[in-house]
């Protein structure tokens, strides 16, 4: 079997990473080719890396993030009061395995959504499924699902990913159906999967925002039991970028 036939055989087996690496190797001078054992190791490694990258791309697409974000691009300017050690500690995503939550608060434009998305994309790169949705959009989808009898199906979908990002918590008034849905979401994920929440409201006002004492107690208990709290400071990054 010649090299072209070997390439076609690899391609037919859908070993894309291996195919691309072997094709590149054939362009190199013969004296630079690895021996048989090294070649096999390199091809296997290339295929594994390709599959990991494809999996990450698929998870990121399924997560429906608003934009691309990365923990490596986080701005640690002193005025933001963002602890680098805390971000680094969360970067390995072991908090997901422990079913811990991340609660991010701060004024509008301070980078809450970017930080939450960066955690979500980091999780995808490490093999965890993520899902992003804003609270107003979640409220809209829940309302529609009640009308077409797909309510439980929607809640089951939200329960599946390892990381659920709820953006803009507290942006709109919360009614009783939304409180009940939020409680069920938290109950389904409690101590097993993680939730990342962003909010303009200070954390100590969330109880009053939720309104109904009994449900507020239950929701806040599940949110805060295993939670990392990040309070971003400083001026709006959007205004800063415009300047």
Q: What residue ranges define each of the domains in the chain, with the CATH number in brackets?
A: 3-63 (no CATH), 71-242 (3.40.50.300)
Rg (CA), the chain: 23
Q: Exposure pattern of 37-54 as b/e (b: 16+ CB <10 Å)?
A: eeeeeebeebbeebeeee
Out of 57-61, 164-168, 170-174, pick the least confident: 170-174
Asked whether the predicted pLDDT for residue 91 surpasses 60, the reply is yes
* pTM for the model: 0.82
- Alpha-helical (H) ranges within the chain are 3-12, 16-25, 36-63, 84-91, 94-97, 112-125, 135-147, 151-159, 176-189, 206-210, 213-224, 237-242
Average pLDDT over residues 122-151: 93
Contact partners, residue 123, CB within 8 Å, separation at least 6: 93, 96, 129, 130, 162, 163
Asked whether the predicted pLDDT for residue 198 surpasses 90, the reply is yes
Are 207 and 220 contacting, i.e. CB atoms less than 8 angstroms apart? yes
**Please, which pLDDT band fits residue 161 given cuts at 50, 70 and 90?**
very high
**Please, which pLDDT band fits residue 45 given cuts at 50, 70 and 90?**
confident
Strand partners, 196: 102, 165
Average pLDDT over residues 33-40: 80
Check residue 242 and give its pLDDT.
52
Token pair belonging to 63: 């997560």
Whole-number Å distance between alpha carbons of 63 and 131:
4
């Amino acid at each position: 079997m010649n090299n072209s036939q070997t390439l076609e055989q690899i391609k037919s087996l859908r070993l894309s990473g291996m195919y691309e690496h072997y094709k590149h190797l054939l362009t190199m001078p013969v004296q630079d080719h690895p021996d048989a054992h090294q070649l096999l190791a390199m091809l296997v490694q290339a295929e594994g890396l390709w599959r990991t990258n494809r999996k990450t791309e698929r998870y990121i697409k399924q997560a429906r993030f608003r934009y691309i974000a990365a923990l490596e691009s986080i701005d640690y300017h002193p005025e933001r009061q963002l602890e680098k050690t805390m971000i680094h500690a969360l970067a390995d995503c072991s908090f997901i395995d422990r079913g811990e939550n991340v609660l991010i608060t701060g004024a509008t434009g301070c980078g809450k959504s970017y930080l939450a998305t960066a955690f979500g994309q980091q999780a995808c790169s490490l093999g965890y499924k993520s899902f992003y949705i804003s609270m107003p959009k979640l409220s809209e989808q829940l309302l529609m699902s009640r009308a077409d009898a797909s309510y439980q199906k929607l809640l089951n979908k939200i329960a599946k990913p390892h990381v659920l990002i709820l953006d803009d918590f507290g942006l709109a008034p919360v009614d009783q159906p939304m409180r009940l849905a939020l409680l069920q979401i938290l109950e389904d994920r409690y101590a097993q999967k993680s939730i990342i929440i962003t909010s303009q409201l200070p954390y100590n006002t969330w109880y009053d925002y939720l309104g109904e004492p009994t449900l507020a107690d239950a929701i806040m208990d599940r949110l805060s039991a295993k939670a990392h709290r990040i309070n971003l400071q400083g001026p709006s990054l959007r205004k800063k970028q415009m300047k």
